[in-house]
Every structure is written in structure tokens, then in C-alpha cells.
Amino acid sequence: MSREYEIVVGLEVHVELATKSKIFCGCSTAFGAEPNTQTCPVCLGMPGTLPVLNQQALEYAIRAGLALNCTINKYSKFDRKQYFYPDLPKGYQISQHDLPLCEHGYVEIDTPEGPKRIGIRRIHLEEDAGKNIHAGDNIAAAQASYIDLNRCGVPLIEIVSEPDIRSPEEARAFLEKLRSILIYAGVTEAKLQEGQMRADVNVSVRPKGSTALGTRTELKNLGSFRSVVRAIEYEARRQWEALQRGEEIVQETRAFDEDRGITLSLRSKEEAHDYRYFPEPDLPPIVLTDAEIERIRAQLPELPDARKRRYMEEYGLSAYDAGVIVRDKAVADFFEAAVAAYGKGTEGAKVVANWVINELARILNEKNAELAQTPLTPDHLVGMLKLVDTGTISGKIAKEVFAEMVETGKSAEEIVKEKGLVQLTDEAALAEIALQVIEANPKAVEDWKKGKATAAQFLVGQMMKATRGRANPQLANKVIRAKLAEVTGVTNE
């Protein structure tokens, strides 16, 4: 067998829709309520109750399908998926089996080899289950287990990809792009910390060059993109090593142990017939007209790829810069608002883009926060840029002011006033400082006398240090050279 192998991955992604109420009853979907306070006879699965489809959930699911380039089926239906688990009071989940709402879409991702399409096999609507809470560190050590049914009946879409993904990095890129598109489309907030987007990861391996699919395992319910990457890396290696030893891969469901970074066998894979699917008798099929689908298509907002192209055309941004900005809708909205308020055309847009891509991205990354979690507004950035333009603060000080704005939400003017950061442009004051610096650095002065022009740069640095970055650099440079010439009688270019 070839010593090189290829990873094949297909994802099943569950995304919570941003409706106010549940999919088949009027209960609230708000996160963080006391357990079991957002329930009713319908979502508790009481006998004799009837589900009614939430029209907003249906509309969001159609919008998601359109945003992901799917065909929307004009006839689809709900099915009961039977399994027994304490968090599922009805004993079945209402889902869609053989006739899903959306099919045959794709998501385009960026790879080192260029853009690549990952096929979407189907998208269907279903309800979420409740949540088991084990009193103790884990289920085995728990004295008791509790059940919170607030999540039971929260609307989900399940997005099933084709097995087109070839590496952990492509899996991450797919998930990030999917999340971005769905947030732009306004169908979900996809908050990862609240479990609003989770993935089942199907992994197989095969010798490089082979076209047949290998036997896969399914890794259940991964809640972070980092876990998806780690789980695929581990699982692909485990499978390949087993194959090299002449073993066969067992098609099974496995769990990823975050702490140990390994996957463990959970159970043999269930087949469709294990679920005894049958059509949901209490809900009518979903029948749509072309006009209804077209109405929803016409309302689709601008999606990230279109926005990226527009930023390249309208503002002359590079593909890379535009791509970084559009990734997070909140960041892109911030960028556009700042460009409009700054009002300097494409030049202004490039200045704003630089701050967004460099300083803002760096700070958010450091804080592990999203823009929405900070008090920063477009006006903050624009106020600061104006202080730079008028020479009130230097570019270096601007970075300090920017970080402070992100932290405190104070305006640039306020911060500059409070901290005394106004740029020193008074030539006489700078000449005074230049003299002090010259006296304190005789070695540099000797160098200057020997014809070393770089000594001036060193002394400008000392002036910046002495003024805590407030000296106007061009002026400091001019002043120090004049002073050096005056003191030593030597001029260097």
C-alpha cells in the first residue's frame, strides 16, 4: 500500500435558527433561563398535543438554503426519528428524512491551491432535544442526573456536506465560511459558546491517488472549530495506522475526548432503519410555490463573497484585505460605517482597512473577543484618524489611543487630553530636548563626528523615549541634525 494517505471528511452541522419561539410551540428560545421554565405540553411531549410549524423557522431554513446555493424543494415533509434518551420526552425527534427542504448546494472556501467548492448534500429542519445535567464531574461519578427541557423543540437546521473535505484546515475553512454566510443571511447568531453550532464529523482515509471511499467513523457533537481540527488529525492518523497494521476500520460512532485529544469508540454506527423513520402524521407536508421561494430569494441580503468583490471594486482593496474584513459581518459593517464617516474616498478606505486588519484584529485576537463585545464604534476610529491627520497625535501614539478606546470606549480626544498625548511640534521645546539627549549620549556624538549619519537616528529614538513617543518624528529629526551640526561643527547627510 502507498505510504501516503489522503483524508476524506464530510460534516453534518447543526445550526440553531434565530427565532424567538420554538419550532412547534410558542415557548421562548432565550438562552440561560432557569431549567424547565420554557416548556409547555407540546415540547414536553404530552399525549394529545399537536405541533404547529413556526413559519419564521421555515422561512429562515429556506433563506439558509438559498444562501448556500441549494435547490429548495417545493414538496418536503417531516418524519419521526425514534430513539430512546432521557432528554427526548416524546421518544422521537421530528426531523426530515427522505424529502428534505433543501438539496444540492455548495460553499466556496479558500485553500492554498485556490478557491474550492464543498458540496452541500442537503439541509433539513428539525427540533433540538433537551439537556442532561450530571451532578458531579462526569456521568459515572454523578450522584444524580437532572434534565433541562428548555432546549427541547428549539429549531435547528442540519446541513450535510458531501465528502469533499480533504484536510482538517479545509474542515475549519468550511465551518468558518458556513458560519459567516448564515450570520450574514440573518438566520442564526451561531454563538459557539452557547452551542448554537455543532458538528458531527465523518472521517475516512485512503491511499493517495485512490478514488474509492474508505470506511468512515463518525465523531459526534463537536462544539468548537479547534476540536474539529484536532479530532480529524487524531482520527485520520489512528485509522491509517490501523490499516498499515492490516486491521479493518469499523464503521462506528466515536467521541472526541478534549482533555486527552483522542477519539474513543461509543457505539456501532446506527443505520436509518434503526430509527424506524416514518412520516410525521401530525404535520402537513411543506408545500411551497415558486413565488414564495422567489420572494425569499429577493430578500436575501448581500453575502460575504459579494461584499468582498464590492470592497475590491469600490475601495480598491486587495483580495486578501477584503477577505479578512468581510469574514465577520460586524467587522465589515464597522469598516463601512467608518469609511463613510471618514469620507476620504478610496484613500480613506485603505487607511481604515489598515487599522481594522492590523490593530483591531490583533487586539481582538489577544483578548479572544469579538468586536461586538467591545465598546468600540466607527466614530471612535474616525475621531482618532482626524487627530492623526491634524498632527495632534503621532501614528505611534495613535496605536496607544486605539487600544485604550477598545478597552474603555472613551473617545480619542478624551484619552489624548487625559494622558497628555498631544504631539510635540514646538521647535524650541524639541531643541531643548535635543540638547539634553546630546549631552546624555557622548558616544553617539563621537560617532556623528566620525561621519556616522545613523547616530542621528539613534538620538531621534532617544528623543521619542524622553517624550514618551510624543515628539513629532520629522521635526525631531530636523532639530537633532541642526543641534549636532551646531555642537560638533560636522554635518552628515
How near is the Cβ of 44 to Zn ion at its closest, in Å?
A: 7
Nearest distance from C-beta of residue 162 to ligand ADP, angstroms: 5
CB nearest ligand ADP: which residue?
Answer: 10
Q: By CB under 5 A, is residue 27 in contact with Zn ion? A: yes
| Per-residue interface string for the shown chain with Zn ion, residues 78-117, x marking contact by CB under 5 A | ----------------------------------------
Residues that bind ligand ADP (CB under 6 A): 8-12, 160-163, 202-204, 213-214, 216
Report the alpha-carbon distance of residue 273 to residue 127 in Å, rounded.
20
The interface region with Zn ion, picked from 24-32, 54-62, 353-361, 462-470 by CB under 5 A, is 24-32
Between 162 and 414, name the residue whose CB sits nearer to ligand ADP. 162
Residue type for 95, please?
Answer: S
Dist CA 440 CA 64 (whole Å): 67
With CB under 5 to 8 Å by kind, the binding choice for 57 among ligand ADP, Zn ion, none is none
Nearer of residues 30 and 213 to ligand ADP, judged by Cβ = 213
Give the helix ranges, DSSP H, for 185-328.
225-244, 290-298, 304-315, 319-326
**What separation, in Å, do the N-terminal and C-terminal C-alpha atoms of the chain show?**
68
3-state secondary structure of 301: coil
Residue placing its CB nearer to ligand ADP in the complex, 2 or 145? 2
CB of 119 to ligand ADP, least distance (A): 8
Binding Zn ion by CB under 5 A: which of 8, 23, 25, 415? 25
| Only segment of 22-30, 135-143, 183-191, 204-212 that touches Zn ion (CB under 5 A) | 22-30
Distance of alpha carbon 292 from the chain centroid: 31
Residues with Cβ within 8 Å of residue 442, at least 6 apart in sequence: none
Q: Which residues lie below 8 Å from residue 444, measured CB to CB, with a gap of 6+? A: 438, 455, 458, 459
Burial of 69-88, coded b for 16+ CB within 10 Å and e otherwise, reads bbebbeebbbbbbeeeeeeb
**Phi, psi torsion values for 286, nearest 5 degrees:** -90, 115
Residues 42-81 that bind Zn ion (CB under 5 A): 42-43
User: Do 253 and 12 contact (CB within 8 A), yes or no?
Assistant: no
Q: Which does 204 bind (CB under 5 to 8 A by kind): ligand ADP, Zn ion, none?
A: ligand ADP
CB of 251 to ligand ADP, least distance (A): 9
Residue 25 touches which of Zn ion, ligand ADP, none (Cβ within 5-8 Å per kind) = Zn ion
Cβ 206 to ligand ADP shortest distance, Å: 8
Residue 11 to residues 34, 123, 326: CA-CA distances in angstroms? 32, 12, 24
User: Closest approach of Cβ 252 to ligand ADP, in Å?
Assistant: 12
Using CA atoms, how far apart are residues 181 and 65, in angstroms rounded to an integer?
11
**Which of the listed partners (Zn ion, ligand ADP, none) does 213 bind, with a CB threshold of 5 to 8 Å by partner kind?**
ligand ADP
The site partner of 61 among Zn ion, ligand ADP, none (C-beta below 5 to 8 Å per kind) is: none
Least spacing, CB of residue 80 vs Zn ion, in Å:
18
Residue 9 sits in the site that holds Zn ion (CB under 5 A): no
CA angle 413, 418, 421 (to 5 degrees): 70
Instruction: Choose among ligand ADP, Zn ion, none what residue 337 binds, the Cβ cut-off being 5 to 8 Å by kind.
Output: none
To ligand ADP, the closest distance from the beta carbon of 389 in angstroms equals 52
Strands 114-127 and 144-148: unpaired
CA–CA gap between residue 164 and residue 334 (Å, rounded): 34
Residues that bind Zn ion (CB under 5 A): 25, 27, 40, 42-43
